[in-house]
Structure 1
Amino acid sequence: MDMALQGGQSRVNYAFITLIVIVATIGGFMFGYDSGVINGTQNGLESAFELGSLGIGVNVGAILVGSAIGAFGAGRLADLIGRRNVMMWSAVLFLVSAILAGAAGSSAVFIIARIIGGLGVGAASVISPVYISEVTPASIRGRLSSVQQVMIITGLTGAFVANFALARLAGGSTADFWLGYEAWRWMFWLQAIPAIIYFVALLFIPESPRYLVVKGREEEAERVLTRLFGRDEAVRKVGEIRQSLAADQHKPRLSDLIDKTTGRIRPILWAGIGLAIFQQFVGINVVFYYGAVLWQAVGFSEDNALQINILSGGLSIAACLLTIAVVDKVGRKPLLLIGSAGMAVTLAVVAYSFSTATTAADGSVSLPGSFGLIALIAANLYVIFFNVSWGPIMWVMLGEMFPNQIRGSALAVAGFAQWIANALISVSFPTLVTWPGLAVTYLGYAIFAAISFFFVRAMVHETRGRELEQMVG
């Protein structure tokens, strides 16, 4: 149903915008599923490929190599071939990765498959938010952009549920399942279904009107904007986009990230890089990638550990829905500050709980007294604080904080930084569990959460309610 904006022919087509957001954020679902599926497959990988802790870290982290490359390349590629076309290529990469990873007969083939999937993850992670920000009204842009994180967590949770169900049906992740293939292989193959849906759905949404204006296709951009906002608003927006680009008519390029008057990197880019890095340095993907292994390490069974993953995923979705309800009222910066403070405290509690762990004669590890329950509650509160703040807000900010001329290039650099930080945290975790141990590792994440609070206060500026053409940097 259309709703009037200002009377006359200016009307927001909320039904069409909702459809576009749903389709675009399937990329977020794929991002989440591809990232989370590894959580329940590590026992299978270890037995199939005879991997040690370092080998597990490399196999788990392989997706992050592709993600960093995909994020960097997608930002620039989106300026060349369009936002929608990049998302379509990412859907193809997801499909290829799913099939190849499940069929891998060696660690090398599996790593290649995960790198291919990472290319799709990286592309979807940066292009879906910017595409959504470019086709939605400023008044509700934050809540619609936050849907990306909901879909990422939904994908993660979907992977956790699928992993749990397959392991339960087969009698374990390494047990044989349908057609004689181990359950962990089917955990990857299931991803082919949403990948195909994503590709087909993308055929039914338009290209970003801001990309079309940059390419000189203003009539096409006006048609898209008319369908989104009505004729009057479309004409006005095309004029605003054209004016925002008028001072710099050359094609977007990486050198635009250097301020021509000072010869230094633009401050807005440093803010974007900082947001991207701190989102990972608080350790969230340790929970998502290694949750099953983590909880088994402190005494929970594989079955219970997989159920805890599902609980964490459900709480994450609920937290993201809260963000959607308040982000355009409260603003981006206050939520980031609340999240930083909350994560710092809860991570410190988790670290202290893990410091009490004891090892029995048979090598099993457990937390004494009520510390197991305290660690579980604190870890899930940490997940809630992350997903009510840094989880969705970082993607919202990266999608909207950069001026039109540098948006693609800035996203390329910030997205690359985000995935490199992700790789550093994820690949190092299996080794850190051995030394210096879970307590010190989680204390480190708590310290980064505390630092992120002061970073936001000093470097991040509120973008709530501002049109993309008003962004400066």
Structure 2
Amino acid sequence: MTTQASANHTAKVIGVTIAAAVGGFLFGFDSSVINGAVDSIQGNFGLGEFFTGFTVAVALLGCAAGAWFAGSLSDRWGRKKVMLLGSFLFIISSVGSGLAFSVPDLMVWRVLGGLGIGIASVIAPAYIAEIAPARMRGSLASLQQLAITIGIFAALLSDAVLANTAGGASNDLWFGVEAWRWMFIVGVIPAVIYGVLSLLIPESPRYLVGKHLDEEAAEILANITGELHPNERIHEIRLTLRAEQKSSFADIRGPKFGLHPLVWVGIVMAVLQQFVGINAIFYYSTTLWKSVGFTEDQSFTTSVITSVINVAMTFVAILFVDRVGRRNLLMAGSIGMFVGLIMAAVAFSQQIGSGDEVSLPSPWGVVALIGANLFVVFFASTWGPVMWVLLGEMFPNRMRAMALGIGTAANWIANFVISLLFPSLTEMVGLSIVYGGFAFFAAVSFFFVKRNIPETKGMELEDMKA
């Protein structure tokens, strides 16, 4: 199929993609904003390690539920309306979390926010995959992960600025409200922006074809993506959507423990992305660096620097995902992550002292920083974005919405497990063993990709075969 590659249409596609990817910004912002508030929440509400971990991780249960239902909701309501729902949930969560008066209260608001973020985490990659021409889809889908990394950076930077302005995260800032509460409240701003942009972008052509709104779909294909023969593309889409109009578990059933083998590939890939421990850094980095002797200011600064590296290296994936291919990037990332995590594990094994008087003697503090940031470099340039690219494109149309929702829910559940257990495991067995475990899963991820992941670069979604 010939696609018009004019600068005008390219700009339109990129603009629409950026608007949809703001959902990724909320994803990153919400998942990391609690980083700077962990110690204050623990002290304010008198929590132990397990309940601190549960308070951090509970939002991820909402994320998993939101991801689970997002696919079927988007098939019924359309992509845009579901984006608006995600925006609304995140707005009320930001305000409620900032004004929470008890731990159960905070958990309820965090779960509601998680529902919104889970929805955004599914809809953004699906929408981008459906609106983007095949020649640009990998790079454009990577913008979702770029938005996530920018959201993480914005959250950690705002945490640092608010904490420094107040002289500490637990100190009062404006209107007698503590700085850690403002860390949540400022999330209203990106949530409102996401809602406004959701109103402005076009609906997905594939959704419109599924609802027999062919004229609207043809107009979007011609005006946004630059299709020279939109009616022919609509015919192709319709052929692949005939079995999708009543999307159900029947579409993803198969001989492997009740599911189609390709669905299991997506689930395991999504779980491995979390089991390498990326969010142990982005949820707990401030607490982590304080635990090995860094001051609060140094810990906040180190977290921000790590998030900048995360953003910068995502551009590598954007530049190379459509050239090198998804599979090769993932395998290279697995090797790099393994090396970085082993360095961090060895460095943390040299920790001396106990309680509040701990430190990493020279040169192990530097080795730990290099190892942790090397891990982030390889994750951000490979597994971070490429996993989402693949989840958005690797499934045939008949099962895409359901399979993507299940894969994303699995990612959130794995995220929940790591976030919940990290504080307790760190206390019980130490950072060295925990990071050694992350390194083990990085090694597993290499062999899993080599054996199971198909290459999808350059393929139209209508050509994907299970």
Taking the aligned partners of 1:184 and 1:346, their CA distance within structure 2 comes to 31
Matched, 1:386 2:379: yes
**d(CA) in 2 for partners of 1:314, 1:424:** 26
Q: Give 1:383-462 correspondences, 5 Å limit.
A: 383-462=376-455
Would you say the 8 A contact 1:11–1:230 is kept in 2?
no
Quickly say closer, same or farther: Cα 1:86–1:96, change in 2 above 3 A.
same
- Contact kept, 8 Å, 2:2 with 2:228, in 1: the verdict is no
Aligned twin of 1:349: 343
Q: Within 5 A, what are the aligned runs for 1:4-19?
A: 6=2, 13-19=9-15
CA-based RMSD: 1.8
1:166-205 aligned at under 5 Å gives the runs 166-205=162-201
What is the Cα deviation at residue 232 of structure 1? 2.9
Deviations 1:354-408 (A, max 9, x none): 0110015x74111112000010011001001001110000000001111111111
What code does the residue aligned with 1:410 have? A
Alignment map for 1:8-47 (pairs within 5 Å): 13-47=9-43
Distance 1:145 1:351, change over 3 A: same
Q: Letter of the aligned partner of 2:412 in structure 1? A: W
Within a 5 Å distance, the mapping from 1:213-224 to structure 2 comes to: 213-224=209-220
What residue number does 2:264 align with?
Answer: 270
Relative distance call for 1:146 and 1:272 in structure 2 (3 A) is same
What residue in structure 1 maps to residue 127 of structure 2? 131
Which deviations, in whole Å up to 9, do the C-alpha atoms of 1:429-457 show, x marking residues without a partner? 01011111110010000000000100001
Determine if contact 1:11/1:229 at 8 Å carries over to the other structure.
no
| CA distance in 2: counterparts of 1:228 and 1:57, whole angstroms | 45
1:374 matches 2:388: no
Contact 2:3/2:227, CA 8 A, preserved across alignment? no
User: Does the CA contact (< 8 Å) of 2:12 and 2:225 recur in 1?
Assistant: no
Is the CA contact 1:12–1:229 (under 8 Å) kept in the aligned structure 2?
no
- Pair 1:31–1:210, CA change in 2 (3 A): same
Shift of 1:50: 1.4
Q: State the one-letter code of the partner of 1:316.
A: N
What's the CA shift for 1:235? 1.6
Give yes or no for the alignment of 1:311 onto 2:305: yes
TM-score after normalising by structure 2: 0.97
Confirm whether residue 364 of structure 1 aligns to residue 360 of structure 2.
no
AA aligned to 2:249 is L
Corresponding letter in the other structure for 1:328: D
Counterpart AA for 1:345: V
Residue 264 of structure 1 and its aligned partner are, at CA, apart by: 4.9
Q: Return the alpha-carbon distance in structure 2 between the equivalents of residues 437 and 444 of structure 1.
A: 11
The answer to whether 1:323 aligns with 2:322 is no
Alignment correspondent of 1:253: 248
Deviations 1:270-329 (A, max 9, x none): 111111000000000000100001111111111111111111111111110111111100
SS, match of residue 206 in structure 1: coil
- Shift, 1:10, TM fit: 8.9
State how far apart, in whole Å, the 1-side matches of 2:232 and 2:367 are: 55
What SS does structure 2 have at the residue aligned with 1:174?
A: coil
Task: Give the Cα separation in 2 of the matches to 1:249 and 1:358.
Answer: 58
Contact 1:10-1:231 within 8 A present in 2 as well:
no
Q: Sort the Cα spacing of 1:439 and 1:8 in 2 relative to 1 into closer, same or farther, 3 A.
A: closer
Give the Cα–Cα distance (whole angstroms) in 2 for the partners of residues 296 and 450 of structure 1. Answer: 28
Of the candidates 335, 340, 365, which is equivalent to residue 334 of structure 2?
340
Change (3 A) 1:316 1:11: closer
- Of 77, 84, 93, the match for 1:88: 84
Whole-angstrom CA distance in 2 between matches of 1:7 and 1:164: 46
**More displaced stretch, 206-215 vs 181-190:** 206-215
Aligned 8 A contact 2:128 2:141 in 1: yes
CA distance 1:262–1:399, shift in 2 (3 Å): closer
Q: Which amino acid aligns with 2:275?
A: F
Alignment of structure 1 residues 16-165 onto 2, 5 Å: 16-165=12-161
Are residue 279 (structure 1) and residue 273 (structure 2) matched?
A: yes
Q: Which runs of 5+ in 2 are unaligned?
A: none
Q: Which amino acid aligns with 1:321?
A: F
Looking at structure 1, the residues matched to 44 and 279 of structure 2 have their Cα atoms a distance apart, in angstroms, of 24
Residues 10 and 232, structure 1, Cα contact 8 Å, conserved in 2 = no
Partner SS for 1:251? coil
1:126 to partner: Cα distance: 1.3
Question: How far 1:263 sits from its partner (Å)?
Answer: 9.5
Q: Is the CA contact (8 Å cut-off) linking 1:351 and 1:440 kept in structure 2? A: yes
Corresponding residue SS for 1:140: helix
Distance in 2, matches of 1:16 and 1:71, equals 28
Residue 282 of structure 1 contacts residue 445 of structure 1 at CA under 8 Å; is this kept in 2?
yes
C-alpha separation in 2, matches of 1:266 and 1:7: 33
- After TM superposition, the structure 1 stretch with the greater mean CA deviation from structure 2, 99-108 or 42-51, is 42-51
Provide the C-alpha distance between the structure 2 equivalents of 1:298 and 1:428, rounded to a whole number of angstroms. Answer: 19
Q: State the 1:20 CA deviation.
A: 0.7
For residues 59-92 of structure 1, what are the alpha-carbon distances to aligned partners after superposition, in whole Å with 9 as ceiling and x for unaligned? 1011111001011011221111111111110000
Question: Is the Cα contact below 8 Å between 1:225 and 1:234 reproduced in 2?
Answer: yes
- Output the amino acid matched with 2:131: V
From 452, 457, 464, the equivalent of 1:464 is: 457
CA displacement at 1:230 relative to structure 2 = 3.7
Distance 1:144 1:154 in 2: 15
2-structure distance, mates of 1:107, 1:432:
22
3-state SS in 1 of match to 2:439: helix
Percentage of matched positions with identical amino acids: 44
> TM-score normalised to the size of structure 1?
0.95
Q: What amino acid sits opposite 1:177 in the alignment?
A: L
Tell me, which stretches of 5 or more residues in structure 1 are unaligned? none
Provide closer, same or farther for how the CA distance between residues 280 and 7 of structure 1 changes in structure 2, counting only shifts above 3 A: closer
SS in 2 for 1:144: helix
Counting matched residue pairs gives: 466
Q: Distance in 2 between matches of 1:274 and 1:138?
A: 25
